[in-house]
Structure 1
Amino acid sequence: MSTIKLIYQCMFGPRLYKVYGDGRAEGLYEPGHLERWGDQIISIVCFFWNVGLYASPIIATVMYRKGYMLWDGALTIGKCVTGVGIVLAFSYFVRGLGRASAPQYIQFLRTLDEAKKNLNKSSKRALSQYDFDFDGWPVEFKWNDVGGEEKKQRQFIERPSFRRTTLDLLFAAPCSLITYIVANTFGLKLMYPGSMTVWNYMFFPVLLQGRSKLITENEGDRYKLFTRDGNEIDTMFIDRRKKHPHGDVLVICSEGNAGFYEIGIMATPIETGYSVLGWNHPGFAGSTGRPFPPQELNAVDCVMQFAIHSLGFLPENIVLFGWSIGGFPTSWAAMNYPDVKGVILDATFDDVMPLAITRMPNVLEPIIRRTIREYMNLNNAEQLLKYPGPIRIIRRTEDDVICTEDNKIASNRGNNLLVKILKYRYPIIMDDSSLMYVYEWLSSDVLQQTRLWDKLEVDDELCSSTILSYITEHSNSFPMRLGDGFSEKMKAQMALFLASKYLTDFRAGHCTPLPNNLFTLPWDITSNMT
């Protein structure tokens, strides 16, 4: 490799952070003085460039008030851009010189080139010895690697559409423009703060440490997936097959709106002994894109295809685990992959609309409603109703994030999610009378729940045998006609029994890590029939 070509490759090569040894012992890569200086200048310029883009309206206003004319302003900006460009070009050159004189970086560059030319088990193993900018990582799975995926249809819950005249559309145009601006500026950032550049920058050292722990302590493998809409998704796989009794079951983890797989919910199923696959939302950490619903759903779809066709897990051995806003891609995946083993939803909601409205000024409610339905329609309950398998909802009793009223468990939107599922699956049992007891049970503490349980004389064995008898005679498909001829008391008993099987309470706030003993597979009445 010629010196000039080597320096050029080093100038624009990925930034190297860590080098792992054969024993997976971690060690920070220490760049030389030239490389460090060049990296610092490039990082500072990129940071202020991003800030400048966001602040450009303010900057333009200030320049106008200072008396700058259009031509003068253009000349000033042109001089600034030219000066910054010269500094940036020199910084890249200095960084290239520094890297070209570092044997460790040269070896990394050769390993990366080999992996890009021929990615196999050997080159993958060699590449996994390094942690570096993920945009330089080669793609290992594409959404269309599986034959027939281009033609395969997916289910989507569409928002209601109304027929409008040309005049209606004309009058609605200003409002449509406002909602577009809101969604594509601060709206998306408020809903997914983890996608902000500043947020990713601040959390980078923590994410690097968390990723290193997954690799060194849990033998994790990092993969890059390429989605239908062109995004690159950063994933981490922990393989426990043949290593643990639960290892044949894969748990796919979907994080919250400020969560990353490096420091997120993967820890709980890992400690419980399952194989685990975590992924970052579009725009989070190493993943590209923006977390609008279409990109979110294309991402989780690609993750599911990767788990099934590349990692080799059957759908019936996959558990979907979503925390908070991660319930949206989780419920969509459940709807489109109905054969999965089960769904676990922790601290999530039925519909994001009520939560968004309660956190914004009343005067903005019409805009918020339209923005949510047009661009960020996270409708977990509607999607889950189309999933026929086992579901467990974990409700955090001190969770203020998904409550519409502070310190009031009755306003937890997890309650609404549970009720909607039960009403759809058991419509005869869940009549107005029995739902009254369910709402009372959901609004009570443990002692009050026990009293209500005893008052109605709920018998677990009787309720279980009743459901089993119905399934044996009819089927286990939903909605069930279970409840014909039941007394009001029997319906109330069955309603509380079913609510207790679908819902698990956890006395904690929204962000407290889920303890291992609460991570159990959802209740499946048919398992007692085998």
Structure 2
Amino acid sequence: MSSIYPPAPLVHPLLSCVLGPRLYRVYRDRGPARRSRDGDEAAEGAQDGSWESYYQPRTLEKHADSILALASVIWSISYYTSPLAMFYLYRKGYLTLSKVVPFSHYAGTMLLLLAGVACLRGIGRWTNPQYIQFITILEDSHRIGTPEVKKKLASYNFDFRSWPVDFRWDEASSRWVSDSRGVSLLRPEPKHRSAANGFLHAIKKLPCQIASYVVAHTFGRRMLYPGSVYLLQKAVMPMLLQGQARLVEEYNGKRTKLLACDGNEIDAMFVDRRESSEPHGKKLVICCEGNAGFYEVGCLPTPLDAGYSVLGWNHPGFAGSTGVPLPQNEANAMDVVMQYAIHRLGFLPEDIVVYAWSIGGFTATWAAMSYPDISALVLDASFDDLVPLALKVMPESCSKWKPSVRVVQPFPPPPPSLCTYQGPVLLVRRTKDEIITTTGNDLLLKLLQHRYPRVMAEEGARVVREWLEASSAVEEASVYSAYEVDQDWCLSVLSSYQAEHGGALPLERDDMTPEGRRQLALFLARKHLRNFEATHCTPLPHSAFRLPWHL
């Protein structure tokens, strides 16, 4: 098919090699994924390690790549330390015209040298038939873009910036089209004006707001989302490449680039189990990672090993995704992921489960609020407020900076969007969580109080708090049995209400006795929250992954 296009000039391959992306790996064709439920490999030849197929650059390309990678790391360190460096140079009197001009000449010389190294790397690539074959397929994918060419391109793992866009936010008839033209997908809370919040008060708060904004958009965001820091990504790159190879070669994973409405490119991976013998393959689990998680090494393996179809994606600024993980960008990314799952992959909303770990609870609850027809929502080790977490790692003397910490908070608390969703919800609480000491507690209380306000009045809320404060599984069971919870009675009450009102929430039944409220509150708490005896960062085993309870 490419023969209908005129041949490229002789200089074109060399120029393409100079400007082309870095090639990391050439995948082996592993055939259909055959992997047992417990994760053991069953594919033929898996023991011989033949899938370890890193691209082998020639000597010239290898050494030039090392020099450019070192220069990139030095530049990154210089960027992060530039405020301190500028302050030091200023104190020493080096920021004068007579000393800055020679430094600019030195910097220009270094740039020319690096450009020369890049050209040498291109020559090294030009002499490598493997890279020539790759760059030809890449150019054809941008020029022609047929499924056959894209299938060939999927056999390579390279710098994702050069990957062609596979799906755009506006390809389908989206209800968010008007939002993308200037209206935010995140609706800010209305600000109520009062005498105390007048013009003079705003002027007084302006310096603090400016300082908070600078903190939030510099080191604050990077501390909150360390996965967006280039140096960390550089350190974990071997693990990311290994994780991608596992998903592609063992599970026939399909890597894809999604274009969000803000122009950010989102790196995503899809594993299709619909045609397999897995009993849960018809369900799609969309995974939302934590603040230092990537789909390659994050929470995605949990539903994957449980037999579900999975769709993982990286936050803006993480690995192959562009942009920065600010609230609006996060919502835009989640929206295009949902659009891709529905309109390109062909999953119905009622066949989609959104699963999130830690800070991924923001995008997960946003998706549940914006796509209320999804099948279920699972939040693992999530939380409802960043301030206690931030203050926990700050010295006591810094508590006065609490307002600034709140500005750094990357998202509105999950409860408003979580409570808007009326579908099945499961909260997973880590009993040994060393980072978030109240994981799941406040989320559960707010969820139950919204859905079952009559049940959670007075006695109901009190017994649920007592149950949450139990220090062990034995003590939890003791609290549960002490109130003699009759599960059959609780189910009959909920079923009768569902039959009368069609299951609409919140449940407003107010004809229950105090004893009935206590029983029903404990029954509902146990159905909506499960404990996992582990620390915050311990991967959730696939045996502990389950869909939420619903009538």
TM (norm. structure 1) is 0.94
CA RMSD between the two structures: 1.7
Deviations 1:242-266 (A, max 9, x none): 2122111100000011100001111
Partner of 1:448: 475
> For the Cα contact (< 8 Å) 1:268–1:514, is it kept in 2?
yes
Distance 1:415 1:209 in 2: 36
Partner of 1:408: none
Runs of 4+ residues deviating >4 angstroms: 152-155
Partner of 2:302: 268
3-state SS of 1:263 partner? coil
Q: Give the number of aligned pairs.
A: 516
User: Which letter does structure 1 place at the counterpart of 2:249?
Assistant: T
> For the Cα contact (< 8 Å) 2:430–2:439, is it kept in 1?
no
Partner of 2:163: 137
CA distance 1:13–1:368, change in 2 (3 Å): farther
User: Which letter does structure 2 place at the counterpart of 1:277?
Assistant: L
Distance 2:265 2:259 in 1: 5
Partner of 2:325: 291
Partner of 1:339: 373
Deviation at 1:429, TM superposition (A): 0.6
Distance 1:69 1:330 in 2: 48
Q: Does 1:150 align with 2:157?
A: no
User: Which letter does structure 2 place at the counterpart of 1:361?
Assistant: P
Residues 345-494 of structure 1 mapped to structure 2, 5 A cutoff: 345-373=379-407, 376-403=410-437, 412-444=438-470, 445-482=472-509, 484-494=510-520
Deviation at 1:9, TM superposition (A): 1.1
Q: Does 1:212 align with 2:212?
A: no
Partner of 1:200: 233
3-state SS of 2:506 partner? coil
> For the Cα contact (< 8 Å) 2:27–2:245, is it kept in 1?
no
Distance 2:85 2:173 in 1: 51
Deviation at 1:82, TM superposition (A): 1.4
Q: Does 1:22 align with 2:29?
A: yes
Deviations 1:1-46 (A, max 9, x none): 4443222111110100111233364411110111112211211122
Q: Does 1:13 align with 2:20?
A: yes
Distance 2:68 2:435 in 1: 38
Q: Does 1:319 align with 2:349?
A: no
> For the Cα contact (< 8 Å) 2:186–2:331, is it kept in 1?
no
CA distance 1:192–1:3, change in 2 (3 Å): same
Deviation at 1:57, TM superposition (A): 2.5
User: Which letter does structure 2 place at the counterpart of 1:166?
Assistant: F
**Structure 1 unaligned residues grouped into runs of 5+:** 404-411, 526-530
Deviations 1:142-167 (A, max 9, x none): 11111354126886453452434332
3-state SS of 1:248 partner? coil
Distance 1:64 1:238 in 2: 54
Partner of 2:62: 36
> For the Cα contact (< 8 Å) 2:270–2:312, is it kept in 1?
yes
User: Which letter does structure 2 place at the counterpart of 1:339?
Assistant: D
Distance 2:233 2:440 in 1: 29
> For the Cα contact (< 8 Å) 1:394–1:504, is it kept in 2?
yes
Deviation at 1:351, TM superposition (A): 2.0
Distance 1:221 1:380 in 2: 31
Distance 2:500 2:15 in 1: 73
Deviations 1:319-347 (A, max 9, x none): 00000001110000000000000000001
Partner of 2:47: none
> For the Cα contact (< 8 Å) 2:185–2:332, is it kept in 1?
no
> For the Cα contact (< 8 Å) 1:296–1:329, is it kept in 2?
yes
Q: Does 1:509 align with 2:535?
A: yes
Partner of 2:118: 92
Distance 1:39 1:92 in 2: 8
Deviation at 1:416, TM superposition (A): 0.4
3-state SS of 1:319 partner? strand
Partner of 2:92: 66
User: Which letter does structure 2 place at the counterpart of 1:462?
Assistant: W
> For the Cα contact (< 8 Å) 2:283–2:352, is it kept in 1?
yes
- Which is further off, 162-171 or 473-482? 162-171
Distance 1:206 1:327 in 2: 24
> For the Cα contact (< 8 Å) 1:357–1:369, is it kept in 2?
no
2:130 corresponds, among 96, 101, 104, to: 104
CA distance 1:33–1:234, change in 2 (3 Å): same
3-state SS of 2:145 partner? coil
Distance 1:84 1:3 in 2: 30
Deviations 1:367-405 (A, max 9, x none): 4434534762341111101001000001111112111xx
TM (norm. structure 2) is 0.90
Identity %: 42
Deviation at 1:58, TM superposition (A): 2.4
Distance 1:154 1:195 in 2: 23
User: Which letter does structure 2 place at the counterpart of 1:117?
Assistant: R
Partner of 2:263: 230
User: Which letter does structure 1 place at the counterpart of 2:421?
Assistant: Y
User: Which letter does structure 2 place at the counterpart of 1:448?
Assistant: E
1:176 corresponds, among 199, 209, 216, to: 209
User: Which letter does structure 2 place at the counterpart of 1:9?
Assistant: S
Distance 1:268 1:222 in 2: 18
**Structure 2 unaligned residues grouped into runs of 5+:** 1-7, 32-50
Deviation at 1:366, TM superposition (A): 5.0
> For the Cα contact (< 8 Å) 1:245–1:273, is it kept in 2?
yes
Partner of 1:122: 148
Deviation at 1:79, TM superposition (A): 2.1
Distance 1:118 1:372 in 2: 49
Distance 2:410 2:275 in 1: 41
CA distance 1:451–1:56, change in 2 (3 Å): closer
- Which is further off, 53-62 or 101-110? 53-62
Partner of 1:522: 548
